[in-house]
């Protein structure tokens, strides 16, 4: 489902975690659809690479180094975007990660706090900082959160408790904030990108495969970051109306069908934190 080249013309989109992988793919996709894009992350070099790829394709992008766990920096990010482009129409809160694979009885307390702040707290910071812009636009805007492994069901054989709890909380945050903002035209959706390997992981897996001569068992389920980008654009577009507060996975197909979108709209419980289907 490819958007028109100008579908997001004159729209301003902020993407946290925009330095690489999923965030970079989302930023590039919005820019390719005509949006002016602000990319934010802690790594200035990666941000510069993202901006370069967007500008080389004829798009408009601005890099703003930000630690999303520091609220003052997130406020400054929104202020910088406002100064550069006048407003924020869409905020994709993709910053996160930092998963620690340790049994709970060996899990460092400080690592738990870090993972929760990097995922859940950064998402709260993003919405809290951008809401004034959405309010000023007549209570209009789109906010995209990012779920992940363990949010909807336990992940067997992989102890990632803090990450799973943070991602489940993000899904619940999406649902609760939708209820809180129900009388507005501020739409929030939670994107589930599937298993996406970043470039470092891909290099590590390829080295292991060369050493063992065996194909990695997760090869069949890994998704490219462009799948998440396609879904993010759909969430932010008028094509996703009138849905609000839904958790949608790249593995789903229903959102590509208008009749199915209407069916989901007519239910209360479909694609919430617990993904129960009729």
The catalytic site residues sit at 163
Distance between CA atoms of 134 and 184, rounded to whole angstroms? 10
Nearest-angstrom CA–CA distance, 41 and 18 = 6
- Strand segments, DSSP code E, in the chain are 12-16, 36-41, 60-65, 90-93, 140-146, 185-192, 247-249
What is the token pair recorded at 60?
């408009």
Where are any strands of DSSP class E within 181-244?
185-192
Q: By the 8 A CB rule, do 1 and 230 touch?
A: yes
Q: Count CB neighbours of 192 within 10 A.
A: 23
Please give the Cα distance from 119 to 98 (Å, whole number).
8
Which run of H or of E encompasses 77? helix 71-85
CA–CA gap between residue 76 and residue 125 (Å, rounded):
11
Closest CA to 145 of 71, 231, 65, 216: 231
């Amino acid at each position: 489902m490819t958007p028109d080249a100008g579908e997001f013309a004159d729209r301003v989109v902020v993407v946290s975690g925009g330095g690489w992988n999923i965030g970079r793919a989302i930023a590039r996709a919005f820019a390719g659809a005509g949006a002016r894009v602000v990319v934010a992350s802690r790594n200035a070099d990666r941000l510069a690479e993202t901006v370069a790829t967007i500008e080389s394709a004829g798009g408009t992008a601005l890099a703003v180094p930000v630690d999303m766990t520091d609220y003052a920096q997130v406020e400054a990010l929104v202020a910088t975007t406002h100064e550069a482009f006048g407003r924020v129409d869409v905020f994709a809160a993709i910053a996160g990660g930092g998963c620690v694979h340790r049994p709970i009885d060996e899990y460092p307390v400080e690592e738990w706090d870090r993972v929760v702040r990097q995922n859940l707290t950064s998402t709260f910071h993003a919405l809290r900082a951008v809401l004034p812009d959405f309010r000023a636009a007549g209570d209009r805007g789109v906010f995209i959160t990012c779920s992940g492994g363990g949010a909807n069901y336990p992940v067997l054989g992989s102890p990632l408790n803090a990450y799973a709890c943070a991602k489940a909380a993000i899904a619940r945050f999406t649902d609760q904030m939708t209820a809180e903002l129900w009388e507005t035209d501020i739409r929030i959706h939670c994107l589930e990108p599937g298993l996406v390997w970043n470039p470092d992981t891909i290099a590590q897996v390829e080295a292991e495969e060369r050493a063992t001569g065996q194909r990695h068992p997760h090869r069949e389920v890994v998704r490219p970051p462009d799948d998440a980008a396609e879904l993010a654009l759909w969430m932010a577009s008028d094509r996703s109306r009138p849905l609000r507060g839904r958790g949608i996975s790249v593995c789903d197909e229903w959102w590509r069908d208008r009749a199915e979108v209407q069916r989901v709209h007519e239910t209360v419980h479909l694609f919430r934190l617990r993904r129960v289907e009729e």
